[in-house]
Amino acid sequence: MDIFKVFNDSRIVMLEKDIAFCNDHRTYKNRDEEDAVVKNMLDQRKRVLWELQVYDDEMKQLLSEFNDHLCNAATQLYNRTKAVYEEYSKRDDYLGEFEIESKLFLGFDYPELHPIQTETAKSVWDALTQGQYDPLYDNGCGSPLYMSKERHDDDKSAIEWLYLSEELDNWNEGLDSEWSKDMHIAYPFHNLYDHMNFSLFDLIYVREFNVEINLKFDGNICK
């Protein structure tokens, strides 16, 4: 895999330059129109990168490492969420219902592992992860994790949250099926890759993740 050849493709160079410029110079005067332009360019960028995609051993190793780090971060978030849920379930200083909502995001900072370390590439990453051009990403990499007495999501395992099933699955839709048939790719990768504007070349170098845990409750505070 020649990553430099991929990102030196004239179509990618032009699109990324325009995406970076628009993202760095948002005026918010006509936000809907500005966002529509960037969304369109991000979609075009993903389509071109999909055309340039390669399925070799290096790509497979990098994807496997990304998936491992993704699953590890998600499992840690699951455990932290469950710990908060169990703590508040035992508290008697308030009466009422509460709900915990947890989300996993790709690291806000541009991946240090990525071979392309230009200001343009970093601005494009900012557009993808923090530009709010894709409402689906507001929920993070995959589905948010909810825990409350009403939802009973605390009964689900981390595996069930990650794979939407009780056993390891392989969410490899959109990839070469033969190349990826022995991989246990988690659902969040599928969500990012199939339903958002992240390309395989964007994701395989990510090793850091950010988390968001929100606690909401209704009730009375007891003295």
Domain membership of residue 64 as a residue range: 54-221
Residue 103: inside a domain: yes
Average pLDDT over residues 20-47: 91
Residue 139: inside a domain: yes
Residue 114: inside a domain: yes
If one counts the domains in the chain, the total is 1
Average pLDDT over residues 154-183: 88
Share of the chain above pLDDT 90, in %: 73
Residue 192: inside a domain: yes
Average pLDDT over residues 110-130: 97
Residue 41: inside a domain: no
Q: Are 166 and 179 in contact (CB under 8 A)?
A: no
Please give the full DSSP string across the chain, using - where no structure is assigned.
Answer: --HHHHHTSHHHHHHHHHHHHHHHT---TTHHHHHHHHHHHHHHHHHHHHHT---SHHHHHHHHHHHHHHHHHHHHHHHHHHHHHHHHHH--SEEEEEEEEEEEEE-SSPPTT-S---HHHHHHHHHHHHS---GGGGG-SSPPEEEETTT-GGGS-HHHHHHSSSS-----TTS-TTTTTT----HHHHHHHHHSS--HHHHTT---EEEEEEEEEEEEE--
Question: How confident is the model over 70-101, as pLDDT tens digits?
Answer: 999 999 999 999 998 888 888 766 556 788 99
Residue 38 has a CB neighbour count (10 Å cut-off) of 19
Average pLDDT over residues 213-218: 85
Q: Give the model's confidence band at 220: pLDDT under 50 very low, under 70 low, under 90 confident, else very high.
A: low
Residue 71: inside a domain: yes
Residue 8: inside a domain: no
Average pLDDT over residues 175-185: 94
- Asked if pLDDT for residue 150 goes beyond 80, the answer is no
Q: Give the model's confidence band at 223: pLDDT under 50 very low, under 70 low, under 90 confident, else very high.
A: very low
- Asked if pLDDT for residue 36 goes beyond 90, the answer is yes
Question: How confident is the model over 191-207, as pLDDT tens digits?
Answer: 999 999 999 999 999 99
**Which residue did the predictor score with more confidence, 220 or 106?**
106
Question: Which of 9-23, 64-78, 111-125, 147-161 is least confident?
Answer: 147-161
Question: Which of 62-66, 100-104, 107-111, 160-164 is least confident?
Answer: 160-164
By the 10 Å C-beta count (0-12 exposed, 13-18 middle, 19+ buried), 205 is classed as middle
- For residue 219, the model assigns a pLDDT of 61
Residue 118: inside a domain: yes
- Asked if pLDDT for residue 29 goes beyond 80, the answer is no
